């Protein structure tokens, strides 16, 4: 099934090539990617990591994920929202994460925006309100879109709420990661695993 971008693993299971590049990526694909995340903390962590991933490979972020969690108080928005100049300086010295000032400041800013969004029902419900009526049915990697009308709308809505580093492509990646859309290839053993889409 190489022409579809699917690889059959030693375990006999079908996965896209990117999910077979390392044990870490395979575990992430098999157990987490595309599964529903519906709590504020979980969605804030994913938005933060997707922002840091911008321009980099997801494998890089995944390898540093535990370092990110340690550096950003477990992605507790209440804690991150209080980060000040000393914290920014500490983070810029932390070789275990991606040391990008704009992305660090955006994460702190987005934590503050997350707290403010609680008055409107909270981050998770807000993001999930952009779930489309249908999900893509990709047969090949090339069939998977990089953004959608919903990710464009979500991006605009979050920016209006004060969020940064939430472009349409980044938001589509978020929607894939947390199960709002299912872009598992039709031949993958994970297609439909989220229970969100039949």
B/e letters for 21-48, b = 16+ CB within 10 Å, e = fewer, are eeeebbebbbeebbeebeebbebbbbbb
Reading the block at residue 91, the tokens are 């983070």
| Residue 181 · residue 136 · CB < 8 Å | yes
Which residue has 């980044």 as its token pair? 170
What span, in angstroms and rounded, lies between the C-alpha atoms of 196 and 198?
Answer: 7
What span, in angstroms and rounded, lies between the C-alpha atoms of 91 and 102?
Answer: 12
Pairing of strands 14-16, 6-8: antiparallel
**CA distance readout (Å), 148 to 27, 121, 130, 151:** 27, 24, 11, 5
Active site residues: 28, 50, 58
């Amino acid at each position: 099934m190489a022409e579809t971008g699917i690889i059959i693993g030693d375990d006999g299971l079908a996965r896209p090539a990117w999910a077979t590049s390392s044990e870490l990526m395979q575990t992430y694909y098999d157990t987490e990617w595309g599964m529903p995340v519906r709590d504020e903390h979980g969605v804030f962590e994913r938005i933060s990591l997707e922002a840091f991933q911008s321009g980099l490979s997801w494998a890089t972020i995944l390898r540093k994920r535990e370092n990110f969690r340690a550096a950003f108080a477990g992605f507790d928005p209440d804690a991150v929202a209080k980060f000040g100049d000393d914290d920014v300086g500490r983070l810029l010295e932390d070789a275990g994460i991606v040391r990008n000032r704009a992305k660090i400041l955006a994460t702190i800013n987005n934590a503050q925006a997350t707290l403010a969004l609680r008055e409107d029902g909270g981050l998770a419900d807000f993001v999930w309100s952009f779930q489309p009526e249908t999900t893509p049915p990709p047969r090949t990697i090339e069939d998977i879109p990089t953004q959608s009308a919903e990710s464009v709308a979500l991006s605009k809505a979050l920016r209006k709420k004060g969020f940064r580093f939430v472009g349409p492509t980044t938001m589509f990646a978020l929607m894939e990661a947390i199960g709002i859309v299912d872009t598992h290839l039709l031949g993958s053993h994970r297609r439909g695993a989220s229970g969100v889409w039949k």
